[in-house]
Each structure stands twice: as structure tokens, then as C-alpha cells.
């Protein structure tokens, strides 16, 4: 999966259900050298029903590398810039349709 694929997934996350999102992110693939972990949490209290969870928040962008910290930080900066351009910002709430929302999902995009 290329960085472009990663960014396209991030941009499309609000339109996909959790199963479709995970399937498209190919999370079952073996872990390669670099991957991106982006945490989302719903913007509503934990005691609400699934259908009421209409927001998610991009909490953080964390990149990992098996080769070097410098490579991980460089990738993190690159991803952050592209996510910003796509309209996703750390700590930002986004409205999503109920059928496309998910709670506490922790998804990694692997490049």
C-alpha cells in the first residue's frame, strides 16, 4: 500500500462502515517496514447507542518504522501535511452518518 493509498483511505474514512474501512485498509496483511496508526474516537459520551454516535475525532497521527526513528518522523510529517490538505486535523470533530461511524476504532494503514 502506497502513501497515496493511505491518504485516500484517511480522506474516505467518514464514508465507510467499520468493516468496509478495515477491509479496504488491508489490516490482515503482514506488517511491513512502515505503517501509520491513526486513532479515532467518537465525539459523543460512551453511554449513547451506536446510532447516536455521529462524530469522530482524529486524535493523533503516529508513524512507526522498523528502520529508524528519523524515517518514522519524516513519514509522520508527510502524512500530517497531506491529511491537513484533505481537511483532517488532529483533534478535529467530523460529522459522519450513523451507518459510517464507529467507536474507539484503532486502525493502521500500512505502506
Sequence ranges of the domains in the chain: 3-110
Report the candidate in 35, 46, 59, 53 with the shortest Cα–Cα distance to residue 100: 53
Of 6, 16, 1, the residue nearest 83 (C-alpha): 6
pTM over 0.75: no
Per-residue pLDDT of the chain (111 residues; tens, 9 = 90+): 455 555 566 555 544 444 444 445 444 433 332 333 443 333 333 443 333 333 333 434 555 555 556 655 665 566 555 555 555 544 444 443 333 333 233 333 333
Q: In what order do the strands lie in the sheet with 34-42?
A: 93-95, 55-65, 34-42, 106-110
The per-residue pLDDT for range 21-46, each reduced to its tens digit, is 444 544 443 333 233 344 333 333 34
Q: What is the pLDDT of residue 98?
A: 34
**Mean pLDDT for all residues in the chain:** 45
Amino acid at each position: 500500500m502506497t502513501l497515496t493509498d493511505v491518504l485516500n483511505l484517511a480522506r474516505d474514512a467518514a464514508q465507510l462502515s467499520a468493516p468496509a474501512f478495515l477491509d479496504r485498509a488491508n489490516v490482515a496483511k503482514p506488517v511491513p517496514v512502515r505503517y501509520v496508526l491513526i486513532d479515532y474516537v467518537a465525539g459523543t459520551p460512551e453511554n449513547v447507542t451506536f446510532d447516536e454516535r455521529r462524530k469522530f475525532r482524529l486524535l493523533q497521527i503516529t508513524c512507526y518504522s522498523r528502520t529508524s526513528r528519523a524515517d518514522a518522523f519524516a513519514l509522520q510529517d508527510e502524512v500530517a501535511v497531506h491529511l491537513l490538505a484533505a481537511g483532517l486535523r488532529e483533534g478535529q470533530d467530523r460529522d459522519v452518518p450513523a451507518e459510517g461511524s464507529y467507536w474507539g476504532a484503532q486502525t493502521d494503514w500500512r505502506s
